[in-house]
Amino acid sequence: MRHSCLLRFFLGAACLATVGLAGAQPRFEPEPDATRATEFIVLGTASGPNSEPDRAQPANALLAGGRLYLVDAGDGAVAQMAKAGLRIGGVDAVFLSHLHFDHIGGMLAVIGLRAQLGTPSTLTIYGPPGTQALVDGLLAAAAPALRAGWGFPGQAWDTDVAAVELRDGDSVTLDALVVTVAENTHFVVPAGDTSPRSAVSLSYRFDAADRSIVYAGDTGPSDALVELAVDLGRY
């Protein structure tokens, strides 16, 4: 008798949990307001391979002109966005400074959870050379889960992801936001070495209607970064 009551209790709890999950609404804030001042929200600062209990890896959110962008997406980026009241489905684009794991570790969650939410818009991922291969690999890793979907025959999740590789001096215009790229010196090249670069690290300058923001990612001393930051007369 006792086991029967316990079984009914657990079955009832499972039913309640299922109903709660099915009927729950995501706790997301409304879309960013186009009249809202441009903001750069730091989501994570714990660089390197070691995890920290109270800091996520490098990730940032940029709110500009009613659009939401991620600037780097280290491990924990999606959870940190939720703490900041930002919708993962609202991300329009991602800018990656370089392809070290602590700056890209959260990208599979960004892509997969947007697909699970049924986000219809294209997610464009900007980054240094190698970004296309990264995105191709992430989509291949996501393929089994996308095919599984909710488990119904003939039903799968879909996602639209594009990669754009950037180089020193490139510029991208997204609505009213102008993004300018400079290669910094995170990867040290020995003096006189003219062999092709195996890795590139980028800094970004974001020129919005009301302010300019420069993001360095990881770098050592860099004249190109200084020029990117101080040339305020271009816009």
102 classed as catalytic: yes
Q: How many CA atoms lie within 13 A of 132 on its CB side?
A: 4
Residue type, 9: F
State the catalytic residue, choosing from 72, 75, 92, 102. Answer: 102
Which residues neighbour 202 within 8 Å (Cβ) at sequence distance 6 or greater?
96, 97, 98, 127, 128, 166, 168, 181, 182, 183, 184, 217
Distance between CA atoms of residues 66 and 85, nearest Å: 15
Give 213's strand partners.
206
- Long-range contacts from 151-156, C-beta under 8 angstroms, 24+ separation: none
Contacts of 3 (CB under 8 A, 6+ apart): none
61 alpha-carbon distance from chain centroid: 8
Cα–Cα distance for residue pair 59/83, rounded to 1 Å: 13
Residues catalogued as catalytic? 102
